Amino acid sequence: MLRVLGIKNFALIEDISLEFTDNFSIITGETGAGKSIILGALSLLLGKRADLNSIRNSEKKCVIEGHFSVGAFSLKTLFEDLDLDYEEETIIRREILPSGKSRAFVNDTPVKLSSLSELGVHLIDIHSQHETLSIGNQDYQYDVLDTVAQNSELRETYSQNLKLLNTFKKAFDELKSRQIKADEAYDYNVFLLSELTEANLKTGLQEELESTQSKLSHVEELQEKLGQSYQQLDEESIGVVAQLREINMQLRKASQLDPNLGELHQRIESILIEAEDISSETQNQLESLDADPKTLEEVNEKLQLIYSLQKKHHVSDVAGLLEVKENLEQQVSVKENAEKELNQAELQITEQEQKLSKIAKALYESREKTTSIISDVVEKMLSELGIPYARLLVKGNLTSTFNSRGADHFEWLFSANKGSEPQDIKRVASGGELSRITLAVKSLLAQYDNLPSIIFDEIDTGVSGDVATKMGVIMKKMSGSLQVISITHLPQIAGMGQQHFKVYKTTENETTQSNIKVLKDKERVIELAEMLGGDKTSESALAHAQSLLK
């Protein structure tokens, strides 16, 4: 719950600090005094986007700070999910710099606005007078049903399974789309694949063929070069090998006379062996060289095919052609295996729909059980609030269509008068009736939803007299289980608060600012007397005010 709210340099507020009790607090003040500014500051604290125009002094930063007691509200897991430091006394601070940049901190840790918003939902429910219309909003109606039915886990299970179903459907659509494309290109892809398959491609084939082509295209030149090389190596008496043999013989004899020449002899002997081997290999290569026009023609045709395929598929080597071949095989496979894959995908969708239907039915049945609870509580409370013949009918039916909320449809029908048939609540309920219905629903939710704080911003609009008193009683009763703060113009409600703040304006040096103070004893009596519209100094007005406080 909200313990302390500090506001600096925001709108008409220069610097204030408010300390709240954990029960029923009242905020009053004349229209335009600045009550809405407090709500605006709280909204910023709970993640609303900042507006540079809201800074009072554009040369200084605006700071909104709230101290919250959260130890009793099981929020530790939420803090961990948001990667925030958990403190039972949590401090949230929002800063708007003169540059327009906004910063937010939770327990001095910088946070994103999205995280602040998610945390704020679990701290304060701000209900303004304009939000009475939300009672006719389907999302809100479902939230009420699920809160009373305690459906949070079941609804989360439904959401996860709906997401999975949509994933399966998306995969099926993509598979279907690929199949259509594969059908359109199938014949051509088969032709291209057969071309590449018949080419019998393998890594290194092009290099091997180009080497063979070069060899067969230059047989005569190679024979000439190898013949001359062999002749110079092995020609009798003047060839390189004959001369090395003579040198080897001489050095062998010399090493016998001088052992120090042994190493030199071994070196020349090694050269001789290598030269003889080169001579032998040169002779073999020379003898193996034969003109082979047929083979050369085959090699040329094979290379021409490879070059042609590379040009067709816009690649530069055989590796690129092999990659194209693999892609074509996959595309052809999609077509050839499409029916089987589509059947499997459809079966997967059917099974998931059956599973989701069971969850949706359980969700519907759980909601259906709460409809009478909601109707009974709201009708009873509306009777106390001056609508004795009010009827609220919440009825639903199970459908076969899945949406984000389930597979059911619920209607909230309302009638304020005896004999009138209940109709859509958002069409037939007046502003005052909506205010009372909203309060009744909020009172019911307070029994099921462990929310630290709720703020009512002039929810009493459109009511007065005894009804206003009863609305105050209901809010005060709610404050027994959660912190309730009510901004009101009605003295009947203001008199029931255990803590009373007054917002007022002052003007000094042609500058207007809003202030707020806690009213005590006699100050409260005078404030209530003014709200009653009488002379705050008259004995009757003061007596009436005192009676409200009692």
Assign residue 60 the CATH number of its domain: 3.40.50.300
In-domain check, residue 291: yes
pLDDT at 243: 83
Do you know the residue count of the chain? Answer: 550
Strands (E), 268-422: 391-403, 406-415
The reply to whether 80 falls in a domain is: yes
What are the CA-CA distances from residue 39 to residues 245, 468, 476 (Å)? 110, 22, 20
- Do 274 and 287 have their domain in common? yes
Please check whether residue 228 is in contact with residue 273, taking contact to mean a CB–CB distance below 8 angstroms.
Answer: no
The one-letter amino acid at 259: P
Answer yes or no: is 417 within a domain: no
Confidence (pLDDT) at 346: 93
Is residue 321 located within the same domain as residue 265? yes
**Domain closes at, from 337, 361, 379:** 337
Distance CA 379, CA 129 (A): 21
Contact 425, 413 (CB under 8 A): yes
One-letter amino acid at 209 equals L
Parent domain of 526 = 520-550
On whether both 505 and 548 belong to a single domain, the answer is: no
DSSP state for residue 55 in the 8-state scheme: B
Place of tokens 């929020």: 75
Among residues 72, 66, 42, which one has the least CA distance to residue 54?
42
In a domain, 287, yes or no: yes
pLDDT, tens digit, for every residue of 370-409? 999 999 999 999 998 889 999 999 999 999 999 999 999 9
Instruction: Examine residue 83 and state whether it is found in any structural domain, yes or no.
Output: yes
Q: If you search the block for the tokens 């910063």, which residue do you land on?
A: 103
If one counts the domains in the chain, the total is: 3
Identify the pLDDT of residue 336: 67
For residues 513 and 537, membership in a common domain is answered with no
Residues 5 and 85 in one domain: yes
Which of 453, 455, 485, 477 shows the shortest CA–CA distance to 75? Answer: 453
Place of tokens 């809010």: 475
Residue 376 lies in a domain: no
Check whether residue 47 and residue 118 sit in a common domain.
Answer: yes
Using the 3D structure, point to which of 311, 337, 363 is the last residue of a domain. 337
Does 191 lie in the same domain as 320? yes
Residue 91 lies in a domain: yes
Tell whether 432 is covered by a domain. no
- What's the pLDDT score for residue 536? 63
Angle at CA 517, nearest 5°, toward 513 and 522?
130
- Calculate the alpha carbon distances from 163 to 167, 363, 399, 402, 546 in Å: 6, 16, 19, 11, 59
Among the candidates 315, 337, 359, a domain finishes at: 337
Q: Are residues 541 and 490 in the same domain?
A: no
Distance (Å, whole) CA 492 – CA 495 = 6
Cβ-contact 376, 394 below 8 angstroms: no
Query: Hey, which residues does 55 pair with through a beta bridge?
Result: 10
Q: How far apart are CA 164 and CA 161, in angstroms?
A: 5
H or E element that contains 93: strand 89-96
Assess whether 16 and 106 both reside in one domain: yes
236 and 192 part of one domain: yes
Let me know: does 434 contact 135? Beta carbons within 8 Å: yes
**Residue 147 — φ and ψ, nearest 5°?**
-70, -45
Amino acid type, 163:
K
Q: Are residues 53 and 104 in the same domain?
A: yes
Cβ within 8 Å of residue 194, ≥6 positions away: none
> Within this chain, do residues 525 and 495 fall inside the same structural domain, yes or no?
no
pLDDT recorded at residue 130: 59
Q: Which two tokens stand for residue 25?
A: 């607090």
pTM above 0.85, yes or no: no
Contact of 408 with 397, CB cutoff 8 Å: yes
Task: Give the residues of the chain that fall short of pLDDT 70.
Answer: 128-133, 214-224, 237, 286-293, 334, 336, 534-537
H-type helices in 218-261, by residue range?
Answer: 219-234, 240-257
